[in-house]
Amino acid sequence: MLRIHKAPMLAGALLILFFPWIARQLPTISHYPDLMVFAGIYTLITLGLSLLMGYAGQISLGHAAFFGIGAYVSGVLSTQFDCNPWLGMLLGAAVAAMVAVIVGAPSLKLRGHYLAMATLAFGIIVNIVFREEARWTGGPDGMIGIPGLSLFGLALDSAEKYYYLVWGIVAAVFLFSVNLIQSPAGRALRAIHASEAAAAAMGIPIARYKVIVFAYSAVLGSLAGSLYAHYMNFINPATFDLFFSIKLVIMIALGGMHSIWGALVGAIIVAFLSLEWLHYFEEFEVVVYGAILLLVTIFMPEGLVGAPAKLMARMRR
């Protein structure tokens, strides 16, 4: 049975809650809350992507596009239209959902290779739009001056405050996803992954489920993008390119695609890799990422989260 236990969730929640305090006690990791803001933002995206890829079995090589849509809608609305950032965030999510339905409805009829191609192409097209529509987006140089967020009059102007905002949202989305997975809707998604023919024969409307989960993952990507834009106060197209889409795949593959925990673990590890641990490699970090992705695919297809269970099963045998 696909149970998601409460104990680790509680432990995780406590760790998240006290982490900034712990980081303050240890000077070497005092900047970690800042990194954890990015880790949380990535986690939001991977929570959706793992439902889409790991549970429903639909590949996406273009999810950076939704991350970018959120960031740019937030950025453009708040800098050029003086729009309230929270409203901008909602509008961004609405745009992402709309785009996801328009692109997803025909794409998700495609299988395997064709879906990979369609999402790849979609991601690149969106990135080109970010680069070319300079009047709105600032072109390849990006846009500056995106305001920060404030909540009930409290400006979220430090890494620590933003950390609690981001991880609060992550916790809510995590719970939502956990409930979803253990529900008939979650089983329907896994059924689609295992056998579309059988799922349809059981009366599951495949097309609708695929589009819904695609749109859900797009909305999460977009929320993450808005949070990113308001935290960085600056965005440029390179953040939302093909390589970021691939990085997202690395996150869920490394953590373990078939588990919601994998999305969390993978996103945190890759955030720390790219922002802290791989600095030594500079631009050659792509080799490291490629090696990680390849090794995980070959030797740990269940990802880090799935590996211990697999190891135990093997030892018991």
Partner 1 sequence: MESLPFFNQLLQFIVTGLTIGAIYAMVAIGFNIIYNVTEIINLAQGEFVMLGGLVMVTVHVMWGVPLPLAFGLTVLGVTLVGVLLDRLAIRPIRKPSVMTLIIATVAASIIIKGVAMLIWGKSPYDLPAFSGRTPIDLGGVIIQPQYLWVVGFLVVVAIGLTWFFNRTIYGKAMSACADNPDAARLVGINVRHMVLLSFALSAAIGAVAGLTLTPIALMDYDRGAMLAIKGFGAAILGGLGSFPGAILGGLVLGLIEALSAGLLSSGYKDAYALIILLAVLFIRPSGILGNLEVTRFKRF
Partner 2 sequence: MAAESVQDPILEIEELVMAFGGLTALMNIDLCVPRGRIKAVIGPNGAGKTTLFNIITGVFPPTEGLIRFNGRAISGCKPHHIAALGISRTFQTVELFNNMTVLENVMTGRHLRIRSSFFGSGLALPSLRRQEKGLVEQAMALLEFIGLAAKRDIMADALPLGERKILEIGRALATDPQLVCLDEPAAGLNETETEAAAHLIQAIRQKGITVLLVEHDMKMIMDISDEIAVLNYGEKIAEGTPREIQNNPLVIEAYLGQGGGFDIR
216 binds partner 2 (CB under 8 A): yes
Does 312 interact with partner 2 (rule: CB under 8 A)?
no
The residue to which tokens 């600056």 are assigned: 234
Stretch that binds partner 2, among 37-45, 172-180, 275-283, 305-313 (CB under 8 A): 172-180
SS3 of residue 202 by DSSP:
coil
Partner interacting with residue 26 (select from partner 2, partner 1, none; CB below 5-8 Å by kind): none
| Least Å from the CB of residue 282 to partner 2 | 40
HSE-up of residue 151 (Cα within 13 Å, Cβ side): 10
Closest to partner 1 by CB, 57 or 255: 57
Name which of partner 1, partner 2, none residue 106 binds, using a CB cut-off of 5 to 8 Å depending on partner kind: partner 1
Distance CA 240, CA 124 (A): 9
Q: Are 219 and 269 in contact (CB under 8 A)?
A: no
Q: Name the one residue in this structure whose structure tokens are 């093997």.
A: 314
d(CA 314, CA 317): 5
Count residues binding partner 1 (CB under 8 A): 43
Residues in the chain: 317
Beta carbon of residue 209, minimum distance to partner 2 (angstroms, whole number): 8
Binding flag, residue 224, partner 2 (CB under 8 A): no
**x/- contact string, 111-150, with partner 1 (CB under 8 A)?**
xxxx-xxx-xxx-xx--xx-xx------------------
Alpha-carbon gap, residue 105 to 193, rounded angstroms: 17
Show Cβ contacts of residue 24 under 8 Å, excluding neighbours closer than 6 positions: 30
Of partner 1, partner 2, none, which one sits near residue 112, judging by CB under 5 to 8 A according to partner kind? partner 1
The token duo for 293 is 């992705």
Task: Spell 230-242 as b/e; 16+ CB within 10 A means b.
Answer: bbbeebbbebbbe
* Partner from partner 2, partner 1, none binding residue 4, C-beta < 5-8 Å depending on class: none
Binding residues for partner 2, rule: CB under 8 A, are 1-2, 176-177, 179-180, 182-188, 190-191, 193-195, 197-206, 209, 212-213, 216, 258
